[in-house]
Amino acid sequence: MNEEFKVTPWDVTGKVDYAKLIEEFGTEPIDEGILTRWKRITGSIPMALQRKIFFSHRDLNWILDRYEQGEKFVLYTGRGPSGHTHIGHLMPWMFTKYLQDTFDAPLYFQMTDDEKFLYKDSLSLKEAMAFSYENALDVIALGFDPKKTYIFSDLEYNKTLYRIAVQVAKRITFSTAKAVFGFDSSTNIGLIFFTSMQSAPAFLPSVQAGKNVPVLIPHAIDQDPHFRVTRDVAPKLGYYKPAAIHCTFLPSLAGSDKMSASRPETTIYTTDDVKVARKKILGAFTGGRVSVEEQKKLGGVPGVCAVFQYYYYLFEEDGAKLKERERKCMSGEIMCGECKLDLADRVASFLERHQEKREKAGDRIKDFVVSDYSAAYDRLKRPQDRKEVAKLKRTMKEYYSVKEGDSIRINRTRDLE
Ligand code: TRP
């Protein structure tokens, strides 16, 4: 067994021990008490909670208390647009969609193109912004409510975010940033500041409402260091601490560690040609034996099998059917080839449907995206005709009464500085 693993906001390697992470990060496990409460409030327990795909949280009971007392919460999540979306990214977003539907909650969705530009040597500013747009198509394709969903790129919404971010930044010392993120003297200073940009959307709903609004952040556990900082700073600025619910990572098709955009052979992108995706699945690591005879005799090992993990995480919602598949595998009744083909079919039909919706999302982007309007950035990102620009301007005006070059009037919770 590989005991070594590492989980930071920028790097996840090795076989992750999630129980250990709960301890190290100081979060709370999703336990029976929460599940029972969840069922009482919402009527059922979604697959992601049942299977402990979302396994940990901070202050979930607090946000449910608020909810039960009639105080609505806002959802906040995001994406670091360093490349195309893969199906591992969709997992927390699908759960977020479920949360939006179930709790009738608005969603703020941050594209941290600034972060990815700062972190990744080879990524240009323009590419990062283009991926913000590309990835937003995947978010929209999942069916979020356009009336309640605000997607923004840091590089385009910075005027609004920066005013909150500087207030956060003023309360974080370099020594805290070093301790939390492991920064050293060779870290570029943009990255050191960045955590305050990721904190900003947690307070934005309160700034806009002019009163404290509870916020729940669904996210993969690797982002917890950022939100520890956010939560530390929150009371100093007069805001609620955001609550959070954390998910595990979808393993790569090679088994063990998380699906990684930097290893395309073992990762399924939402933009993959269906044939390519099939091929990747047929080449996946399984828990099979060296020969059919061996497998029939000894059975497979679903615990280490990437294919089984895909059923578990995304492609077999029916708990009884999942159990049956596991049993058949372990008793040698089903061979890896069959299991892979079946998964390939499911992934292919999922991709076909997703890609269709993704295509249509291009026309709906304006219904979702908020930005501090800037014609220059917009031209950089994608060419637009004048009519389109005018329309976008009108939308922005509605949100923030922004005139080009104007400062933005936002209602503050209280005058902080
Ligand atoms: N930094 C995150 C990433 O690299 C993106 C992100 C920004 C995010 N805000 C978030 C993720 C809130 C989850 C929740 O993926």
Q: Check residue 415 and give its pLDDT.
A: 34
Percentage above 90 pLDDT, the chain:
78
The answer on pLDDT for 370 being more than 60 is yes
Give the closest residue (by CA) to ligand 1 atom 3. 80
CATH number for the domain that contains residue 259:
1.10.240.10
Residues 157, 288, single domain; the answer is no
Domain-located, residue 403? no
Residues 211, 71, single domain; the answer is yes
Tokens for 139? Answer: 């978010």
Domain-located, residue 102? yes
> How far is residue 249's CA from residue 261's CA, in Å, rounded to a whole number?
13
Q: What is the DSSP string of 130-180?
A: HHHHHHHHHHHHTT--TTTEEEEETTTSHHHHHHHHHHHHTT--HHHHHHH
Residues 215, 268, single domain; the answer is no
In short, whether 325's Cβ falls inside 6 Å of ligand 1 is no
Which of the listed residues 206, 234, 249 is the one where a domain comes to its end? 249
Q: How far is the CA of 302 from the centre of ligand 1 (A)?
A: 31
Residues 267, 152, single domain; the answer is no
Average per-residue pLDDT for the chain: 89
Average pLDDT of the segment spanning 17-45: 97
Residues 47, 141, single domain; the answer is yes
Residues 245, 264, single domain; the answer is no
In short, whether 80's Cβ falls inside 6 Å of ligand 1 is yes
pLDDT band for 27, please (50, 70, 90 cuts).
very high
Length of the chain: 417
In short, whether 219's Cβ falls inside 6 Å of ligand 1 is yes
Give the closest residue (by CA) to ligand 1 atom 6. 78
Contact 208, 411 (CB under 8 A): yes
Domain-located, residue 145? yes
The answer on pLDDT for 194 being more than 70 is yes
> How far is residue 334's CA from residue 328's CA, in Å, rounded to a whole number?
6
Give the closest residue (by CA) to ligand 1 atom 10. 78
Domain-located, residue 291? yes
Q: How far is the CA of 112 from the centre of ligand 1 (A)?
A: 7
Q: Check residue 389 and give its pLDDT.
A: 55
The answer on pLDDT for 117 being more than 70 is yes
SS3 205: helix
In short, whether 115's Cβ falls inside 6 Å of ligand 1 is yes
Q: Could you give the number of structural domains in the chain?
A: 2
Whole domain around residue 216: which residue ranges? Answer: 10-249
Give the closest residue (by CA) to ligand 1 atom 11. 78
pLDDT tens-digit readout, 264-293:
889 999 999 999 999 999 999 998 888 989
Instruction: Choose the residue to mutate in 8, 12, 74, 77 for probing ligand 1, maximizing ligand atoms within 8 Å of C-beta.
Output: 77
Domain-located, residue 110? yes
pLDDT band for 15, please (50, 70, 90 cuts).
confident
Q: Check residue 379 and give its pLDDT.
A: 47
Give the closest residue (by CA) to ligand 1 atom 8. 78
The answer on pLDDT for 405 being more than 70 is no
Residues 202, 306, single domain; the answer is no
The answer on pLDDT for 408 being more than 60 is no
Residues 62, 113, single domain; the answer is yes
Q: Check residue 371 and give its pLDDT.
A: 85
Residues 118, 169, single domain; the answer is yes
Average pLDDT of the segment spanning 116-134: 92
